[in-house]
Amino acid sequence: MNDHPAQTSEERAGVIYAAAAYTLWGVMPIYWRFLEVPAVEIITHRVIWSAVFVGLIIIVRGHLPRVLEAIRTPRTLGTLAVTGTLITGNWLLYIYCVETDQLVEASLGYYITPLVSFALGLAFFGERISRIRAACIGLATIGLVVQIAALGHVPWIAPALAISFGLYGYLRKKAPVAALDGLLVETALMFPFALGLVLWWASDHTGVFPSDRTLTNSMLIGAGPVTAIPLALFAAGARRIRLTTLGFLQYLAPSITLLMAVFGFGEAFSQIDLISFGCVWAALVIVALESRFPIRAPAPSTLK
């Protein structure tokens, strides 16, 4: 008798957790923009302090043996090495977009990520997709072609963000480790390189850390929690709600980023952008409707 209310409460909590994660990801450019540190240095500190912060959480929760057991499998360790490289590159490119006022294109990249995931699944993982989803991939491609024709060059940021994050998602799905456990291994593998760079910059006084400004030091160290907290919220939400619900919520982040870029940071949003985004938005609406109202093939006729 009480199962249904409990389930409803659990789902409500899941929506709150996931929405909070996507909202934090959406407003995160404010943090990086306020920091005013070169993108490469931000990434090195993001790796270092994420590893430290997540490592402490893992130890306190008693999950370190589970992590050590996972990395004893060479295939899992190799997969996490690749995903660690992909997500680090994705972070670097995203922060570069913040620094160079290209968040509109960055938000386009995260809008087309689900469609790129469909294409990657079809091309590299032998997955089958419906004709409707194939058409949606084509519609998103048209949006990019329109930008290429208008700009005279390939808009590489959006595809690079979408492909790197799409590949990251697929490979992470194949690694049998929890979200925070995987993040710890990914950042730990990158940790020696990041620490080496920070020490090198500090030795010849070309880096910003340690800075004379306490706020800058604090925000660089805070890159660890800023990275890990949304991921923990996302993992908590994903366990409690359906994938279709999660799919709709994932567009919160690029929507918030797009609004913030145009109305907060004053980035241009041209008619060409409107056409490109319109193609992608239309494709996403069609995919969403297909998942809610699957189109069934007509029943075979009994007439001869």
Average pLDDT, the chain: 80
pLDDT at 246: 65
Least confident piece of the model among 48-62, 70-84, 262-276: 262-276
Q: Do 47 and 190 meet the contact criterion of CB atoms below 8 Å apart?
A: yes
- Summarised one tens digit per residue, pLDDT across range 163-219 is 888 888 778 877 778 878 888 998 999 999 999 988 888 888 777 777 777 888 889
Least confident piece of the model among 2-6, 90-94, 148-152: 2-6
Task: State yes or no: pLDDT of 56 exceeds 90.
Answer: yes
Task: State yes or no: pLDDT of 104 exceeds 90.
Answer: no
Task: State yes or no: pLDDT of 33 exceeds 60.
Answer: yes
Q: What is the mean pLDDT of residues 136-162?
A: 76
Amino acid in position 148: I
Task: State yes or no: pLDDT of 2 exceeds 70.
Answer: no
Percent of the chain beyond pLDDT 70? Answer: 84
Six-digit token string for 207: 């880096």
Nearest-angstrom CA–CA distance, 58 and 64:
6
Q: Do 65 and 139 meet the contact criterion of CB atoms below 8 Å apart?
A: no
Q: What is the mean pLDDT of residues 146-169?
A: 78
Percent of the chain beyond pLDDT 90? Answer: 10
Q: Is the pTM of this model over 0.75?
A: yes
Assign 299 a pLDDT band (cuts: 50, 70, 90).
very low
Residues with Cβ within 8 Å of residue 76, at least 6 apart in sequence:
70, 175, 176, 177
Task: State yes or no: pLDDT of 52 exceeds 80.
Answer: yes
pLDDT at 297: 43
Determine the Cα angle at 223 with ends 42 and 96, to 5°: 35
Nearest-angstrom CA–CA distance, 269 and 111:
16
Q: What is the mean pLDDT of residues 134-153?
A: 73
- Summarised one tens digit per residue, pLDDT across range 121-140 is 777 766 676 777 777 777 77
Q: What is the mean pLDDT of residues 107-132?
A: 74
Residues with Cβ within 8 Å of residue 275, at least 6 apart in sequence:
143, 146
Nearest-angstrom CA–CA distance, 14 and 245:
10
Six-digit token string for 287: 């995919």
Q: Which phi and psi angles does 78 have, rounded to 5°? A: -65, -40
Cα-Cα-Cα-Cα dihedral of 118, 119, 121, 127, to 10°?
90
